[in-house]
Structure 1
């Protein structure tokens, strides 16, 4: 496998550096394993409550939603083999393919209805707001989020393979959101059986995606193995992934050099050392970093003062000479290269 060391650059204010090399086998199991070094551990493998990027990555490796995203950022069918949209654009009817969870239970429309209902009605689910008008615009979501328990979310299982979602208004990016973890399904019977232990350990989690979580040593390592029951398992080309939690970039860089790590993040202090290596490249990602003012402060309530503060920040110098992590200057709240419009132009434009 060819070695690569990649730098993750940000399309906005700050970014991290990433690298990857390539060994043919993992260090915890025989076969073709990919070895990853990650800064942070998973916070939650419960798709209803996860809020951090690392958790989202691992969830997306083990669970699929209605739609997914290909390597070019295009929305493609996942568990929904097809869908219909009403003439007014307010009703989506998803037709699920034959798929099973890793315990052989079929993936059904009820799994989506249960997960969505449990999410939007639980104040601990921080991303539940995406069901409302700030996200997918699902019918009655705003009212339920505001505390109205008398209403039902406009999403229901018509039968085991048909899931209907009604919107309160048109949402052009609705299908894109269906690939986000908060919209993933949850098997109600299994989750109820596990209770408070659900998704806290490998044994307390089901998979319907390309990999399943075999072991999870918190703060140390996750091992994911190929899910042979995945509906598209023939196209999963590796046997699994070893995900090592390595907070220090210098340590993971040394592991990379020794061939024990296939992908690692670099910090700004390591860029000069590796930037001329054939294994080093850059990857544009869509993170945004910004200053948020305290509007309770009487001085900062003054718009002109806030504008003045903004003018004294030399963004170019900040990204090139201070951060040195691949960041690019932020020209607005919408990052560059976040998405491409129907006209082929960057959405930022």
Structure 2
């Protein structure tokens, strides 16, 4: 069968914003397994605490939430076969289909109430903010995030198959947002039994999604096999997925050439070599990388310094001459082709652009910001340290 070689999803967004890149799908290898090459290992398979893209990919393959996305990016029913919304738009009632975890335990509404409340009350859950007014707008979420741990989220298991969510205010994108892994269910009895080991090994996990993780050699390989107890198992056509952790794109490209890998991403140094290969393909993807300022640094507390650093980056030059991987310049934090705006168009088409000064214009603006920052900080020069992960295209 024809194999596909992917261009790197290298969405470098230095400092504040730069671009969104490309990626592709895979198909079956010989037999009924697919072998993928990924540059990073999974950090955690616990949907409550995972923060990285690789972990999200593997979690989404093994655990399913209320809603999910189809191949075209449309939100479609998953564990919730239907839902109702109150007239005021504040109460969502989800009706769960018959489904079970891979240990034979039924998936119930209580799995969602447990997971959501456990997430928002744990400071280690970085994406807990998505329950509040910056995300799903669930009632009581802002108060809990502010420290009121006596409260619970305004969610309820009305019965085993009925899950009710009350919002503090209308949230038009609520149903779309809950397809994100932090809103996935967790079986309380199993998670409690595993304790602090839950989600850290293949033996400390159960699945309710299309696949289950059967092997995980840290830093080396993950093996997923079809979950026969998945409610829609008859439509899962691939029996298993081998995920090899290969940090170097050049190595995974050689594995592809030798037939040992069905899918790999390319970095910018390999594009020219493979761009004429029939297996080479690119797909624009709503994926972004950015650098986070450390506000504990006395210099970076200065707004003009941060603007100088951000503005001096020539995003156009970066995507065209450094990344060379199909990434495009992006003028706002929401990348192109990620979401539709209120006008029905791609959000990026009508949203304001904040970083649209390039080349000489950007350099001139950066100099002005830097001059102001030096005056305000009372310095002529500063030294900053940059921490980044050891993978392409970092």
Aligned to 1:317: 317
SS at match of 1:348: helix
Cα distance in 1 between the residues matched to 2:26 and 2:74: 27
Aligned to 1:3: 3
Deviation at 1:317, TM superposition (A): 1.4
Q: Is 2:231 the counterpart of 1:234?
A: no
SS at match of 1:283: coil
Deviation at 1:259, TM superposition (A): 0.9
Superposition map of 1:183-222 within 5 A:
183-222=183-222
Match of 2:29 among 24, 32, 44: 24
Report if aligned partners of 2:20, 2:329 keep a CA contact under 8 Å in 1: no
SS at match of 2:348: coil
Q: Is 2:119 the counterpart of 1:119?
A: yes
The alignment yields a C-alpha RMSD, in angstroms, of 2.2
Distance 1:155 1:106, change over 3 A: same
1:88-139 alpha-carbon deviations (Å, 9 max, x no partner): 1000000000000001110000000111111111111111111111110100
Cα distance in 1 between the residues matched to 2:115 and 2:303: 44
Superposition map of 1:202-281 within 5 A:
202-281=202-281
SS at match of 2:326: coil
1:190-244 alpha-carbon deviations (Å, 9 max, x no partner): 1111112212211210100000011111111100000011000011010010000
SS at match of 2:278: coil
Aligned to 1:345: 345
Report if aligned partners of 2:38, 2:243 keep a CA contact under 8 Å in 1: yes
Cα distance in 2 between the residues matched to 1:262 and 1:20: 10
Structure with greater proportional strand content: 1
Deviation at 1:290, TM superposition (A): 4.5
Q: Is 2:71 the counterpart of 1:66?
A: no
Distance 1:18 1:288, change over 3 A: closer
Deviation at 1:341, TM superposition (A): 3.9
SS at match of 2:94: strand
Report if aligned partners of 2:23, 2:285 keep a CA contact under 8 Å in 1: no
Aligned to 1:28: none
Query: Which is further off, 11-20 or 219-228?
Result: 11-20
Distance 1:146 1:204, change over 3 A: same
Aligned to 2:157: 157
SS at match of 1:219: coil
Report if aligned partners of 1:216, 1:223 keep a CA contact under 8 Å in 2: yes
Query: Which is further off, 310-319 or 196-205?
Result: 310-319
Cα distance in 2 between the residues matched to 1:248 and 1:266: 9
Aligned to 2:366: none
1:48-75 alpha-carbon deviations (Å, 9 max, x no partner): 1101000000000000000000111110
SS at match of 1:264: coil
The TM-score normalised by the length of structure 1 is 0.92
Cα distance in 2 between the residues matched to 1:4 and 1:93: 42
Query: Which is further off, 320-329 or 31-40?
Result: 320-329
Deviation at 1:4, TM superposition (A): 1.6
SS at match of 1:284: coil
Superposition map of 1:72-91 within 5 A:
72-91=72-91
SS at match of 2:214: strand
If asked which structure has higher relative contact order (CA below 8 Å, sep 6+), I would say 1
Ranges in structure 2 where 5+ consecutive residues have no aligned partner: 350-394
